[in-house]
């Protein structure tokens, strides 16, 4: 396990190992999007378990940007203290706290909200949870970009060390990037250059308040799994158009853009697109997909296919996976809680 448990430099931040907890919604915020004790204990436990980078679940930059009514929010100053509590718990256990800023776009299922998207296309007309969104006007676009910027200020004030933009899974940024969901004919739709314009402006706005030596991650869906949709090479091209705005790492996922598609899910199924994006952009990547074994993660990093490996469901099942994996491999970790030595 020479690679999995080695440190990694991300801009000016050092991660203690290559294991990443990806954003996973807990649907446990209160009605105002404020974090609860559940979030505080949930994230601190994974930090105590030895994870290197912990990326907090999708946190909405607007009320209408929530995936559900129980999503975390960062659109109001009243939400900062709850987020500070999460950060303090993660830092106290030696992990690096990150947060994913998100806007659900047409996949907003919080009732009573003004649902917006690049184009007026319903995500799933057969599912009553989804309504047909309103196509965003120029004023809407500018307002949402400002919301991302204001949210980044709160990220800074809450004490997070890393900021991730959610550009995957068919949510708002992803909707602009994919030709399946973006049918605009203005400056924000059509060619890859135009489809990437909204993302470019979001990154620029966020970077105006998020210092250049603070890491910024971009999460993308590298494959749409439908004819006419994006492939890894398309995402690499758009990433190359925006990376100079200040992107440090690409978090490679896939799918979620359109419903009812066949996804070839298997351990490590998102590593091949991550490898392509790494090669074509020159940026470090974090990849994964149903990875449950430390030996598999070690091989991925050793082979150079991904710089970091995310483990979602495995860390939900077993928050102490990193510590247990290191012990089984005979790796001594300085951050293993001594209280657990007799275990």
Angstrom distance (rounded) from CA 16 to CA 118: 39
Domains of the chain by range and CATH?
A: 8-340 (3.20.20.70)
Please tell me the predicted confidence (pLDDT) of residue 340.
Answer: 84
Please tell me the predicted confidence (pLDDT) of residue 36.
Answer: 98
Please tell me the predicted confidence (pLDDT) of residue 110.
Answer: 82
Please tell me the predicted confidence (pLDDT) of residue 342.
Answer: 82
Answer yes or no: pTM beyond 0.95: yes
DSSP for 24-67, please give it.
Answer: -------TTS---HHHHHHHHHHHHTT-SEEEEEEEESSGGG-S
Other C-beta atoms lying within 10 Å of the C-beta of residue 208: 11
What are the phi and psi torsion angles at 165 (to 5°)? -95, 130
- Pick out the chain residues at pLDDT < 70: none
- For 263-289, what is each residue's pLDDT tens digit? 999 999 999 999 999 999 999 999 999
Residue 71 is given by DSSP the state S
Please tell me the predicted confidence (pLDDT) of residue 202.
Answer: 99
Please tell me the predicted confidence (pLDDT) of residue 328.
Answer: 95
């Amino acid at each position: 396990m020479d690679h999995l448990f080695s440190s990694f430099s991300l801009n000016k931040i050092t991660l203690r190992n290559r294991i990443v907890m990806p954003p996973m919604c807990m649907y446990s915020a209160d009605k105002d999007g404020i974090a609860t004790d559940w979030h505080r204990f949930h994230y601190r436990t994974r930090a105590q378990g030895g994870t290197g980078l912990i990326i907090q679940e999708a946190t909405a930059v607007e009320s209408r940007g929530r995936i559900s009514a129980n999503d975390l929010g960062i659109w109001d100053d009243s939400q900062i203290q709850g987020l500070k509590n999460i950060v303090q718990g993660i830092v106290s256990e030696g992990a690096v706290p990150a947060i994913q800023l998100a806007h659900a776009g047409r996949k907003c299922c919080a009732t009573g909200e003004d649902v917006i998207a690049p184009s007026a296309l319903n995500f799933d007309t057969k599912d009553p949870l989804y309504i047909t969104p309103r196509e965003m006007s120029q004023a809407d676009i500018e307002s949402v970009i400002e919301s991302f910027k204001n949210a980044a200020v709160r990220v800074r004030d809450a004490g997070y060390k890393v900021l991730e933009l959610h550009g995957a899974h068919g949510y708002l940024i992803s909707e602009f990037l994919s030709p399946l969901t973006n049918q605009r004919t203005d400056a924000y739709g059509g060619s890859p250059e135009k489809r990437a314009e909204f993302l470019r402006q979001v990154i620029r706005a966020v970077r105006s308040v998020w210092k250049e030596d603070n890491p910024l991650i971009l999460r993308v869906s590298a494959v749409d799994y439908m004819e006419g949709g994006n492939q890894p090479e398309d995402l690499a091209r758009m990433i190359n158009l925006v990376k100079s705005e200040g992107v440090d790492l690409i978090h490679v996922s896939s799918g979620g853009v359109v419903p009812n598609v066949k996804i070839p899910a298997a351990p490590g199924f998102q590593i091949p697109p991550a490898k392509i994006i790494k090669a074509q952009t020159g940026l470090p990547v974090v990849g994964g997909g149903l990875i449950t074994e430390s030996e598999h993660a070690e091989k991925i990093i050793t082979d150079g296919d991904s710089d970091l490996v995310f483990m979602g469901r495995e860390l939900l099942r077993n928050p102490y996976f990193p510590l247990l994996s290191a012990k089984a491999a005979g790796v001594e970790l300085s951050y293993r809680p001594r209280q657990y030595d007799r275990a």
